[in-house]
Homo-oligomer: A and B are copies of this chain.
Amino acid sequence: MIGEIITIGNEIISGETQDLNAWYAAGRLTRAGLRVKRMTMVGDDPEMVTLVLRQAKHSSEFVIVTGGLGSTDDDITNEVVALALERPLCIHQEMLKKIKKIAHKRNIPVTNSLLKMAYMPSGSQLISEKGVACGFYLIEEGVPFYFLPGIPEQMRYLLDNFVLTDILNRFQVKDVRVFKLIRTYGLTEPEIAEAFRKKRALEESVIFGFYPQFPENHITITANGEDSSKVQELVEEAQKEVLGILKEHVFSVDNEELEEVVGRLLKEKGLTLSTAESCTGGLVSHRLTNVAGSSEYYLGGVVAYSNHLKESLLGVTPQTLDTFGAVSMETVKEMAEGIRKITGSDLAVAISGIAGPSGGTKEKPVGTVCLGFSSKDLSEARTYRFFGSRIQVKQNSAAMALDWIRRYLCGYPVLPGV
């Protein structure tokens, strides 16, 4: 089944807002074995909306439209759909009831701008699964059109809980699509391309994709077919080959983020972790604590942005700071040992570097970052050089710190420094 996605909103075509709705919907549809052949974004512009709706009607088997369903004046979807598909606006009784009920519950008057939302193109069916989130659909010459709100949470909820199932049921989709996302850290895209060129003898029936996702590199494997177990098998074989090529640089094949992998490994081994961050400014601990249940293994950390805090909180000696500087292997070693002692954690990682844009010197240019690791048996430090903006240096340093933990826990060597 081949469909398309249309996004309506001036904020999208003016570049003010990124259209995450089309991206999300495309991903969900594709994973479900459906195909998206076009995504189109137009403004709150009746002429363009009419044009793309009519084009879609003639070339797609299903159409998902997001945006323009709200109560403010720039929300024009209902009216334009009525004109474009020649279905006069009528009061939708079920919607009217809903609006009155909510207004009553919240003790607010039923204003005209609320009432506006009850006028819908004739033949519309409500999509409304939870409280206020509300869209509608209609069948136009056999093609289902789904109209969803532009607010990402609402749109995602209705897509996942109604639209996807409705499309799959309606068309009795049989084709299975197996998709695998392999995430790597530590190799550049040309290095990955080179590694594949040398060794690749992979099945033609699977499709590979290569996507830099800063600071990681992702590889996708996709296969389609009616025989689910055969498709699954093909993808698994391809995955094995990829692992053979990229080895320990692969950190995840099960849609896990790096911080989730680290968390899982720590839990498996019953170990705890703490962090001492300077240039990453808390990004490592932020990522670690994005994982539900991270308090089981992550005890906490210090963001020692000033030298004073590196001394007073982490116990880095003034001699070390004077002799080697805040960005040095000696300092990060002491930072890691310091935070491990304070927190009583099994492992600790420390980061100090020059995120830029200023602060670089000839010996230590912007992007110079030192990483330190401490456990009962081991104390180690290395210096890396990262490139890009301040934020990119922070991102790369934080990813490297998480990857160090992963490599230690798996018994892999850490990446070589400069």
Contacts and interface: CB of A to CB of B under 8 A. Distances in A.
A15 B26 contact: yes
B312 A285 contact: no
A290 B52 contact: no
Interface residues of A, number: 94
A36 B343 CA distance: 54
Interface of A: 10-20, 22-31, 36-43, 45, 48, 52, 71-72, 74, 111, 113, 151-153, 181, 193, 197, 207, 209-214, 218, 220, 222, 275, 277, 279-286, 288-290, 292-295, 298-306, 308-309, 312-313, 342-344, 355-358, 388, 390-391, 394
Contact of A36 (B14, B71, B72, B213): B14
Contacts of A211: 11, 16-17
A29 B43 CA distance: 15
Scoring A72, A282, A286, A313 by chain B CB atoms within 10 A of each residue's CB, the highest score goes to: A282
B29 A15 contact: yes
A388 B283 contact: no
Given A40-B40, A356-B292, A300 B302 contact: yes
A252 B172 CA distance: 51
B299 A302 contact: no
A388 B308 CA distance: 38
Contacts of A286: 280-283, 286, 394
A166 to B, nearest CB: 19
B300 A304 contact: yes
A24 B18 CA distance: 9
B303 A301 contact: yes
Contacts of A207: 10
Given A18-B20, A299-B309, A45 B39 contact: no
A193 B301 contact: no
Scoring A281, A342, A357 by chain B CB atoms within 10 A of each residue's CB, the highest score goes to: A281
A286 B12 CA distance: 28
Nearest to A222: B14
Contact of A289 (B37, B197, B305, B344): B305
A305 B298 contact: yes
Given A285-B281, A301-B303, A308 B16 contact: no
Given A26-B15, A193-B71, A220-B16, A41 B38 contact: yes
Given A281-B290, A283-B286, A391-B290, A15 B20 contact: no
Contacts of A18: 18, 20, 23
Given A11-B209, A279-B289, A302-B303, 6 more contacts: A12-B26, A15-B30, A38-B42, A295-B306, A299-B306, A309-B342
Contact of A41 (B24, B39, B306): B39
16 contacts: A14-B36, A14-B222, A15-B24, A15-B28, A15-B31, A16-B27, A74-B209, A113-B197, A280-B289, A281-B285, A281-B286, A281-B289, A281-B294, A293-B358, A299-B306, A301-B303
Scoring A153, A222, A312 by chain B CB atoms within 10 A of each residue's CB, the highest score goes to: A153
B40 A15 contact: no
A40 B306 CA distance: 48
A313 B274 CA distance: 13
A27 B14 contact: yes
Nearest to A344: B308
A298 to B, nearest CB: 6
Contacts of A30: 13-16
A266 to B, nearest CB: 13
Nearest to A196: B72
A32 to B, nearest CB: 11
Which 3 interchain pairs have the tightest Cβ spacing? A15-B27, A281-B289, A282-B282
Nearest to A390: B292
A6 to B, nearest CB: 10
